[in-house]
Amino acid sequence: MAETAADSVISKEKDYAPASTSSTSEEKVVSEIDIQNLTIDDCNKFLDEDSNIKIITSGDTPYRSAFTFEELNLSPQLLKGLYVEMKYQKPSKIQAISLPLILDPPYLDLIAQAHNGSGKTACFTLGMLSRVDPKLKAPQALCCCPTRELAIQNSEVLRKMGKYTGITFECAIGGDFTTETHIKKRSPITAQVVIGTPGTIKRRMTEKTLGLSYLMMLVFDEADHMLAKEGFKDDSLNMMKHIGRVTSHCQVLLFSATFNESVKKFAAKIVKGNHNELFVKKEELSLESVIQYKVDCPDELAKVMVIKDQILEFGERIGQTIIFVRTRNSAIILHRSLVDLGYDVTTIQGALKQEDRDKIVKEFKDGLTQVLISTDLLARGFDQQQVNLVINYNLPVKYDHSTEPDCEVYLHRIGRAGRFGRKGAVFNLLCGDMDEMIMSKIETHFDMKIAKVPDWRNEEDFKAAMRSAGLL
């Protein structure tokens, strides 16, 4: 008999060591309550593929998991937002499991890991929209995101999902700094949900224009990055300290597709003792629907030629493409090379003016541009369903250690394709022994073998690769 998702969740738990080292881990029990509700509807193969989430619930709270949005007791206004505005039909697996954990008393903190593109945004957005009191005109939920692009994107999701709720929101991201410095005191935020980046949120907290007295939910999207030393750790801890001084009832939600072991331990320490956790093994994180390839290129020029002759030649047939580069400088150089060759590409990187960044993202999201070159600014969270192809022009390496791959960033980059179970392909362009070595470390880390495109000059090899990935 075929293994159901429920069987799979339970059986995979056996060989998966508990992740938490928090002092209360002995109180935790693996929840098998209602797990049969996770049974897969045959039409929705996506859930089947995303069946490896390990659930650790705290105490003996009888958590439920939902098969339909109605079962989640969402308000009629929110259901309308989901069906009419978002066109969702039923919850994804992470939504089905995490929403009851978020919405049921005693509103414990949650650390939740689930695959790229599996719908984590709706988990915390519905969480915020459900818990906020529409009658109380003050900030009640705060969502911190690592980039302005993600804060804008998440605000847009909240706007659509919450359209019929009347709940107000503000996107707290850096604006036009020249005007800002002239404003001595900004008016206090009255919006009920605030979504923003750490710098701006911290500033608003310090200048006391972001009141925390009624805050009951703090969300970190891309939480592992927000808590990592090389990420926004200090800012995030600072924010939590500020909040902790004012209220002791703030539910903390940490969402990401990746939590490495050290971040996992740290995250378990900073949430309150009694909390819930959902984790996925790193070997099971790669999306099966996204086929990865590597291409040996003799030199840098060959990489440009591969992009030009073997990939962009397919044009719009293969959907939209994101090309990831390591540095702002590589972004500029590659942009120039492709434009000189007659290709219409746009480029985004952190040194651009904010209004230009916003414009470039908007044009890509509106489908006005097809090929976007990006630094890791868009590696995490960026959601554009039409992106079928990701090219790693440079492999991602650790910030302070250029011979070590950044496996988390690799996973996030390739997760820009294949959103919500869609098909996708990734081409890793390798040049030299160092790239070979980094690629093989990535393969070992995720316990996978990446197929090689036999000849970088051969158009047929690329056609075959795209066909196997379902793009042609």
Largest CA distance in the chain: 69
CA 170, 240, 130, 82 torsion-angle sign: positive
CB of 149 to ligand ATP, least distance (A): 12
Residue whose pair of structure tokens reads 């331990």 in the numeric block: 265
Asked if 383 interacts with ligand ATP (CB under 6 A), we say yes
- Least distance in angstroms from the C-beta of 27 to ligand ATP: 28
Q: Which does 231 bind (CB under 5 to 8 A by kind): Mg ion, ligand ATP, none?
A: none
Any residues with CB less than 8 A from the CB of 67 and at least 6 apart, and which? 37, 38, 39, 90, 91, 96
Cα separations (Å) of 116 from 13, 91, 383, 401, 405? 21, 15, 10, 25, 19
Considering only 419, 430, 453, 462, the residue that binds ligand ATP (CB under 6 A) is 419
Question: Rounded distance, CA 188 to CA 211, Å?
Answer: 7
Q: Which does 118 bind (CB under 5 to 8 A by kind): Mg ion, ligand ATP, none?
A: ligand ATP
H/E stretch holding 170: strand 169-172
Contact status, residue 470 vs residue 312, Cβ threshold 8 Å: no
Decide: residue 368, CB within 10 A, 0-12 exposed, 13-18 middle, 19+ buried: exposed
- Residue 349 binding result from ligand ATP, Mg ion, none, given CB thresholds of 5 to 8 Å by partner type: none
Site membership for ligand ATP, residue 88 (CB under 6 A)? yes
Residues numbered 255-274 forming contacts with ligand ATP, rule: CB under 6 A: 257
Q: Is 73 left (phi over 0), alpha (psi -120 to 50) or beta?
A: left
- Amino acid present at 113: Q
* 385 interface partner picked from Mg ion, ligand ATP, none, CB below 5 to 8 A per type: ligand ATP
Among 385, 402, 403, 458, binds ligand ATP (CB under 6 A): 385
- Strand, helix or coil at 314? helix
Residues contacting residue 40 through CB under 8 Å, at least 6 positions apart: 4, 5, 47, 48, 51
Q: From CA 370, how far away is CA 394, in angstroms rounded?
A: 20
Nearer to ligand ATP, 28 or 93 (CB): 93
- The C-alpha atoms of residue 62 and residue 69 are separated, in whole angstroms, by 19
- Least Å distance, CB 461 to ligand ATP, is 29
Q: How far apart are CA 168 and CA 266, in angstroms?
A: 33
Q: Which does 88 bind (CB under 5 to 8 A by kind): ligand ATP, Mg ion, none?
A: ligand ATP
Which range of residues in 159-167, 204-212, 307-315, 379-387 is near Mg ion by CB under 5 A? 379-387
Contact region for ligand ATP (CB under 6 A) — 126-134, 370-378, 379-387, 460-468? 379-387
Piece of 119-127, 137-145, 288-296, 360-368 that binds Mg ion (CB under 5 A): 119-127
Confirm or reject binding of residue 381 to Mg ion (CB under 5 A): yes
Rounded Cα gap, residues 127 and 103, in angstroms: 6
Burial of 2 (0-12, 13-18, 19+ CB in 10 A): exposed
CB of 5 to ligand ATP, least distance (A): 15
* Residue 90: CB minimum distance to ligand ATP, A: 6
Give me the least distance between CB of 78 and ligand ATP, in Å please. 13
Q: What secondary structure letter does DSSP report for 309?
A: I
CA separation for the pair 6, 32 (Å, rounded): 9
CA distance 245 to 311: 54
Q: Which does 257 bind (CB under 5 to 8 A by kind): ligand ATP, Mg ion, none?
A: ligand ATP
Q: Of 191-199, 225-233, 259-267, 377-385, which segment contacts ligand ATP by CB under 6 A?
A: 377-385
* CB nearer to ligand ATP: pick between 296 and 376: 376
Nearer to Mg ion, 210 or 348 (CB): 348
Q: Are 122 and 176 contacting, i.e. CB atoms less than 8 angstroms apart? A: no
Q: Is residue 116 part of the contact set for ligand ATP (CB under 6 A)?
A: yes
**Helix locations, 31-103, DSSP H:** 45-49, 76-80, 93-103
Query: Using an 8 Å Cβ cutoff, are 276 and 110 in contact?
Result: yes
Q: Choosing among ligand ATP, Mg ion, none, which partner's interface includes residue 55 (Cβ < 5 to 8 Å by kind)?
A: none
Q: How far is the CB of 204 from ligand ATP (least distance, A)?
A: 25
Q: Is residue 92 within the footprint of ligand ATP (CB under 6 A)?
A: yes
- Judged by CB under 6 A, the stretch of 87-95, 272-280, 303-311, 453-461 that binds ligand ATP is 87-95
Residue 253 near ligand ATP by CB under 6 A: no
Q: Which of residues 164-223 bind ligand ATP (CB under 6 A)?
A: none
Spatial strand order of the sheet with 371-374 comes to 345-348, 371-374, 320-324, 387-392, 424-430, 290-296, 451-453
Closer residue to Mg ion, CB minimum distance, 81 or 381: 381
CA distance 440 to 241: 41
Q: Which one among 100, 119, 127, 319 touches ligand ATP, defined by CB under 6 A?
A: 119
**Is residue 117 within the footprint of ligand ATP (CB under 6 A)?**
yes
- Based on the shown chain and the rule CB under 6 A, indicate whether residue 121 belongs to the binding site for ligand ATP: yes
CB of 89 to ligand ATP, least distance (A): 6
Q: Which residues bind Mg ion (CB under 5 A)?
A: 120, 381
Q: Which residues bind ligand ATP (CB under 6 A)?
A: 88, 91-92, 95, 114, 116-122, 257, 381, 383, 385, 415, 419-420
